[in-house]
């Protein structure tokens, strides 16, 4: 099962995305890595590393990010991990991607299929 990590500058946003997606796909491996260790706004490499490790498998991990420095922190976290193959940072909306990704992951979608879904989410129209 492909794991999903939500990296946001806000702990509440990351946890909210995980909570919402978990309602749709309770069996998905989904974890929040938001905010700093002290609860402040920002991104924390150690939190991101721990989150990746908690959902890592040979199937891979996708990381959904909110802003540019979340990308940089995620890249640094990946580089520091001993097991860092098949980990992808995704450029797609966090909420929609976490929901659609969690559902796909829970039904056993491959990393390739997950990447297709995230591309589709970029064009998703709400109405």
Catalytic residue among 6, 9, 62, 117: 9
Annotated active-site residue 90? The verdict is no
- How many Å separate Cα 12 from the centre of its chain? 14
Contact 108, 33 (CB under 8 A): no
Q: Where are the alpha helices (DSSP H) in the chain?
A: 11-24, 45-55, 68-80, 94-106, 111-122
The β-bridge partners of 98 are none
Q: Are strands 61-65 and 30-32 parallel, antiparallel or unpaired?
A: unpaired
Catalytic center residues: 9
């Amino acid at each position: 099962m492909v794991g999903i990590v939500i990296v946001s500058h806000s702990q509440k946003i990351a946890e909210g995305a995980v909570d919402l997606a978990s309602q749709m796909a309770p069996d998905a491996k989904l974890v929040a890595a938001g905010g700093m260790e002290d609860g402040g706004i920002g991104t924390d490499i150690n939190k991101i590393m721990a989150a990746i490790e908690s959902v890592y498998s040979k199937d891979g991990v996708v990381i959904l990010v909110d802003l540019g420095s979340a990308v940089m922190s995620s890249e640094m976290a990946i580089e520091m991990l001993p097991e860092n193959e098949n980990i992808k940072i995704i450029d797609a909306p966090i909420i929609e991607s976490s929901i659609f990704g969690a559902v796909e992951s829970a039904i056993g979608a491959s990393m390739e299929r997950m990447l297709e879904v995230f591309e589709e989410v970029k064009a998703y129209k709400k109405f």
